Structure 1
Amino acid sequence: MASTTPSQATSFTTIALASTGVILTASLAYAFYFDQKRRSDPEFRKNLKKQHKKISRQDQEASKAAERSQKDRIRKSVDEANEEGFPKDPEETESYFMQEVARGEGMCSDGSDPVEAALCFYRALKVYPQPRELIGIYDKTVPKPILDILAEMIAVDPSISVTGSRAGSDAGSDKVE
C-alpha cells in the first residue's frame, strides 16, 4: 500500500506537467503559424493593413467628434455665462471674482471637469478690470489643458479685450505743470 500513494502523486504531477507542456506547445505552434502566414501570404497582409487602416480611421473620426463636441460645449458654456450676467457693483464684483477663482483652483486641484474649471476662470476674467494682466497671471498658475480651454472661451467671446491698450496707466503723463 505504501507504493500506491507516491505513484498517485507522481501521476498527478506528471499529468499537470504534460497538460502545461501541451498547452505551451500549442500556443507556440499557433504563434509560429501566424507569423509565417503574416510574412508569406500577401492576401493575409492586405487584410491586416485594411483592418489597421479601418481602426485608424475610426480613431481619427472619434477624436474629431470629441473635439467638435467639446468646442460646442465651450460655446454653450460661454453663452450661458453671458446670459446669466455679471455683477456691476465693485464690492459684489470683487467677491464674485474671488469666489470664481477659488472655485476654479479647487476644480483644478481635485481633477474635476476641465471645461467647468475653465469656465470659473472665464467668469473671473469677465469681471476683472484688466483682463490682459489677469491672463498673464493665469498663464503662470493655471494648468495648460485648462488654459487652452480658457483661450478657446476667450476666442468665442469678442467682448473680452486682451489687446494691449494701457489707457489708464499713462493718463497723467501729457499734463504739464
Structure 2
Amino acid sequence: MIPKSALGIAAAGAGICFIGYCVYFDRKRRNDPNFKQRLRESKKARNSGKKSSGLTELPDLTNPEAMQKFFFQEIQLGEELLAAGDIEGGVDHLSYAIATCGQPQQLLQVLQQTLPPQVFALLLEKLPTVGQVKC
C-alpha cells in the first residue's frame, strides 16, 4: 500500500507541473510577435464565414462521398450557428442538410426532439424553398 501522504505529494507535484506548463506556454504565446496578427486574421476569417452563409453551393448529387461530406458539414455549421445565436443561419444550414439527407423523416424526428419548438417551426418553413433550390 502506498501511504496517503505520498499520493497527496504526487498529486500536488502533478498539479504544479501542469500549472507550470500552462504558464510557460501562455508566456510563449504572448511574447510571440505574430500572435496578435494571427488572432486578428482568424477573427476576420470567422466573421467572413458567418456573413457568407447565405448561399450554399450543393455538391455533385451523383457522388455519395461528396454528399455525405456536405451533409455532415451542414449539420455541424447549423449546430455551431445555433449555439452562437444565429438562428436564421443555423436553420439555413440544417435545411440544406435535410435536403441532402438519405432519410429526411428520421432526421426531422431527431431535430424535432432536440431543437426548441420555435427553431423547428422556422426549419419547417424553410424546407420547401430549399427543395426548390435542390432541383
Give TM-score, length-normalised by structure 2. Answer: 0.51
Q: Which residue of 2 aligns with 1:26?
A: none
Q: Distance in 2 between matches of 1:86 and 1:141?
A: 27
Q: Which residue of 1 aligns with 2:64?
A: 90
Q: Which residue of 2 aligns with 1:99?
A: 73
- 2:98 corresponds to which of 105, 116, 125: 125
Structural RMSD (CA): 2.2
Question: How far is the alpha carbon of 1:157 from its aligned partner?
Answer: 4.9
The Cα offsets for residues 84-126 of structure 1, whole Å up to 9 and x where unpaired, read as 33432111111111111111111111112x1111011011011
Q: Does 1:136 align with 2:109?
A: yes
Gaps of 5+ in 2: 1-53
Q: Distance in 1 between matches of 2:72 and 2:131?
A: 23
- 1:109 corresponds to which of 83, 86, 94: 83
Q: Distance in 2 between matches of 1:142 and 1:121?
A: 11
Number of equivalent positions: 79
What SS does the aligned partner of 2:81 have? helix
Contact 1:108 1:143 in 2 (8 A): no
Counterparts of residues 1-177 of structure 1 (less than 5 Å): 81=56, 84-88=57-61, 89-112=63-86, 114-157=87-130
Q: Distance in 1 between matches of 2:119 and 2:127?
A: 12
> What fraction of aligned residue pairs are identical, expressed as a percent?
22
Q: Distance in 1 between matches of 2:129 and 2:67?
A: 22
What SS does the aligned partner of 1:129 have? coil
Structure 2 residue identity aligned to 1:154: L
Contact 1:118 1:149 in 2 (8 A): yes
The Cα offsets for residues 10-50 of structure 1, whole Å up to 9 and x where unpaired, read as xxxxxxxxxxxxxxxxxxxxxxxxxxxxxxxxxxxxxxxxx
Larger Rg over CA atoms: 1
Question: How far is the alpha carbon of 1:158 from its aligned partner?
Answer: 5.4
Give TM-score, length-normalised by structure 1. Answer: 0.40
Structure 1 residue identity aligned to 2:76: A
